[in-house]
């Protein structure tokens, strides 16, 4: 499978996307735990069906020491016992923030309060930006049919 286009190759889009990807790098430096970031990125990508991001975040998380059990259970995190209460709150916020069309008003008050209970304002801000960022990246990759399977750990760092 070939991508429909290389969105970094055109001057205007390439310039804009380089700045956009810098935002992703800034998120990596946030106080939101790296494990949580990868789990959230993976879950958002699973919901959206973005194969290239699923490939990337699964490999990055595994390289950082995440277990295959936890990675395999992200899609069924509600029934899994391997996630902390904080991770579960982040995954729930990520799901509601990704499926905004499914519920009037977007993220519910209970989901928000639960996330705020586990994360301080800076971490919570990073979490919200990460969910938004991943949804945008997923859409770029899906629209242009970016192929999955060849990602190498550290490729975009």
78 by Cβ neighbours in 10 Å (0-12 / 13-18 / 19+) ranks as: exposed
pLDDT in tens, 36-53: 999 999 999 999 999 999
Residue 126 placed within a domain: yes
pLDDT in tens, 88-139: 999 999 999 999 888 777 899 999 999 999 999 999 999 999 999 999 999 9
Residue 123 placed within a domain: yes
Residue 14 placed within a domain: no
Residue 70 placed within a domain: yes
pLDDT in tens, 11-34: 777 778 788 888 888 999 999 999
Please answer whether residues 58 and 148 qualify as being in contact, where contact means their C-beta atoms are separated by less than 8 angstroms: no
Which range of residues forms the domain containing residue 43?
A: 32-143
- What is the pLDDT, as a whole number, of residue 7? 65
Residue 77 placed within a domain: yes
pTM of the model: 0.89
- H or E element that contains 8: none
**Token output for 156:** 């975009």
For the chain, percent of residues with pLDDT exceeding 70: 90
Domain count across the chain: 1
Residue 45 placed within a domain: yes
Residue 81 placed within a domain: yes
CATH value at residue 127: 1.20.1290.10
Residue 21 placed within a domain: no
């Amino acid at each position: 499978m070939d991508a429909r286009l290389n969105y970094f190759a055109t001057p205007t889009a390439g310039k804009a996307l380089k700045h956009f990807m810098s935002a992703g790098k800034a998120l990596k430096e946030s106080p939101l735990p790296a494990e949580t970031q990868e789990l959230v990125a993976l879950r958002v990508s699973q919901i959206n069906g973005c194969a290239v991001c699923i490939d990337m975040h699964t490999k990055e998380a595994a390289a950082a020491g995440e277990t295959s059990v936890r990675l395999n259970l992200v899609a069924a995190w509600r029934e899994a016992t391997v996630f902390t209460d904080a991770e579960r709150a982040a995954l729930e916020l990520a799901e509601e923030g990704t499926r905004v069309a499914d519920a009037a008003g977007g993220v519910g008050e209970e989901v928000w309060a639960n996330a705020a209970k586990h994360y301080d304002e800076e971490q919570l801000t990073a979490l919200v930006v990460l969910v938004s960022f991943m949804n945008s990246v997923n859409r770029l990759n899906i629209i242009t049919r970016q192929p999955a399977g060849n990602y190498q750990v550290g490729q975009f760092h």
